[in-house]
């Protein structure tokens, strides 16, 4: 008995030391290095733009945000019209992209047959890989002739609302199509096609994470498929819907080539989405960068810095909303 007690006293658990395999260590080091490098590049871009923006802010102060004209050669530089046009294009794109992204995500995650689901996911993801110049050419040559009729119809029936007003008679026997071409509305629809896959991918991933138990409980209680989606999937995916929408907004705010090809650049402070003319920050930079002098280049880089800050804020808010929601606890965006 004494020998048994002594053996039990000497039976001390061993300390287990685990060392990751060489492959795991290489992968972890490489992933960490790439992440740090991305942060360094991201910070360097913001720092460079901030440094270049200092002279412009010192010279113009707050008038840089209130002046609407952009003529650096005459010492008149302002972003009010540029920012307004940027948010108008992004707003139109979001109004078009949001319902399409939500319904596409719901169909793929809840209604699509299993054999078709993989193909639909691949198609939506491939939309994000199409170059923006292709969307711009598609919008200019294919969409614009049809959207002119839509814009004319909206002006006829909703022209009393200031944002849908156009400086022409919509009921004239021969209506002026040139007043509707190159508008914020047409550019926004083209940009919406680029924002849809971003919002759809985030929403689809979140919808797919809805708890199986809650889905089956709703169906067991007699709910229809749509009733289950409305009672379980949509409330669960609220954070993903908001986050995906804001990420799509960030994509729309920074679009350049498609807007540059479609919209007619004009520096006039107006909030008329159907009327010809408008400008965005990104299209302004692309349009003026090649022939810019030193003064103009500083002003353009300042505009780029403002857009950089706005985009970072929008994307950061989207990431925070998704990560803090119940549905986004394990979602990467």
Q: What's the pLDDT tens digit per position in 215-237?
A: 888 888 888 888 888 888 888 88
Q: What is the pLDDT of residue 17?
A: 64
Judge whether residue 58 has pLDDT over 70.
yes
Which residues are CB-contacts of 38 (< 8 A; sequence separation ≥ 6)?
A: none
Q: What is the pLDDT of residue 37?
A: 93
Q: What's the pLDDT tens digit per position in 163-180?
A: 888 888 888 777 888 888
Q: Which residue has the higher pLDDT, 246 or 7?
A: 246
Best-predicted range by mean pLDDT (10-24, 65-79, 143-157) = 143-157
> How many CA within 13 A on the CB side of residue 288?
25
pLDDT band at 332 (very low <50, low <70, confident <90, very high): very low
Q: What is the pLDDT of residue 330?
A: 46
Contact 104, 196 (CB under 8 A): yes
Q: Could you give the 3-state DSSP secondary structure of residue 161?
A: coil
pLDDT band at 247 (very low <50, low <70, confident <90, very high): confident
Average pLDDT of the chain to the nearest whole number:
83
Q: What is the pLDDT of residue 333?
A: 45
Judge whether residue 291 has pLDDT over 80.
no
Q: What is the pLDDT of residue 191?
A: 92
- Cα(262)–Cα(151) distance, rounded to whole angstroms? 15
Q: What's the pLDDT tens digit per position in 81-108?
A: 888 888 999 999 999 999 999 999 999 9
Lowest mean pLDDT of 110-114, 157-161, 191-195, 316-320, name the range.
316-320
Q: What is the pLDDT of residue 288?
A: 81
Q: Could you give the 3-state DSSP secondary structure of residue 313?
A: helix
List of domains in the chain = 28-324 (1.10.3720.10)
Counting residues of the chain whose pLDDT is more than 70, the rounded percentage is 93
pLDDT band at 7 (very low <50, low <70, confident <90, very high): low
Count CB neighbours of 132 within 10 A.
18
Which residues are CB-contacts of 152 (< 8 A; sequence separation ≥ 6)?
A: 170, 175, 177, 180
Q: What is the pLDDT of residue 246?
A: 87
- Cα(315)–Cα(252) distance, rounded to whole angstroms? 12
Lowest mean pLDDT of 16-25, 179-188, 324-333, name the range.
324-333
pLDDT band at 60 (very low <50, low <70, confident <90, very high): confident
Q: What is the pLDDT of residue 272?
A: 85
- Cα(135)–Cα(291) distance, rounded to whole angstroms? 26
Mean pLDDT of 267-276: 82
Structure tokens at 266: 């004009």
Lowest mean pLDDT of 33-37, 95-99, 100-104, 272-276, name the range.
272-276
Mean pLDDT of 7-13: 62
Q: What is the pLDDT of residue 189?
A: 92
313-316 long-range contacts, CB within 8 A, separation 24+: 314/246, 314/249, 314/250, 314/253, 315/246, 315/247, 315/250
pTM: 0.83
Count CB neighbours of 179 within 10 A.
21
First to last CA, the chain: 63
Q: What is the pLDDT of residue 331?
A: 45
Contact 295, 173 (CB under 8 A): no
Counting residues of the chain whose pLDDT is more than 90, the rounded percentage is 12
């Amino acid at each position: 008995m004494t020998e048994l007690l002594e053996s039990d006293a000497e039976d001390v658990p061993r300390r287990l030391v685990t060392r990751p395999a060489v492959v795991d260590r290489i992968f972890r080091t490489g992933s960490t290095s790439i992440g740090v490098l991305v942060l360094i590049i991201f910070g360097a871009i913001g720092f460079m733009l901030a440094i270049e923006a200092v002279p412009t802010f010192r010279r113009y102060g707050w008038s840089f945000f209130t002046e609407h004209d952009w003529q650096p050669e005459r010492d008149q530089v302002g972003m009010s019209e540029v920012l307004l046009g940027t948010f108008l294009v992004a707003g139109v794109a979001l109004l078009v992209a949001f319902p399409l992204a939500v319904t596409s995500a719901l169909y793929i995650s809840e209604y699509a047959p299993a054999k078709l689901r993989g193909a639909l996911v691949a198609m939506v993801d491939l939309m994000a890989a199409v170059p923006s110049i292709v969307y711009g050419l598609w919008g200019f040559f294919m969409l614009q002739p049809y959207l002119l009729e839509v814009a004319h119809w909206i002006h006829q029936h909703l022209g009393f609302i200031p944002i849908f007003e156009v400086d022409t008679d919509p009921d004239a026997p021969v209506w002026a199509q040139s007043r509707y071409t190159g508008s914020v509305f047409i550019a926004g629809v083209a940009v919406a096609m680029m924002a849809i896959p971003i919002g759809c991918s985030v929403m689809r991933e979140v919808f797919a994470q809805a708890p199986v138990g809650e889905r089956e409980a709703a169906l067991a209680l007699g709910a229809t498929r749509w009733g289950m989606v409305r009672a379980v999937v949509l409330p669960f995916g609220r954070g993903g819907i908001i986050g995906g929408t804001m990420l799509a907004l960030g994509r729309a705010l920074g679009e350049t080539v498609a807007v540059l090809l479609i919209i007619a650049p004009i520096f006039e402070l107006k909030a008329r989405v159907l009327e010809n003319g408008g400008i965005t920050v990104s299209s302004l930079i692309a349009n003026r960068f090649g022939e810019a002098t030193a003064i103009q280049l500083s002003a353009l880089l300042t505009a780029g810095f403002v857009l950089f800050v706005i985009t970072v804020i929008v994307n950061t808010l989207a990431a925070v909303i998704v990560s803090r929601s119940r549905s986004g606890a394990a979602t990467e965006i």
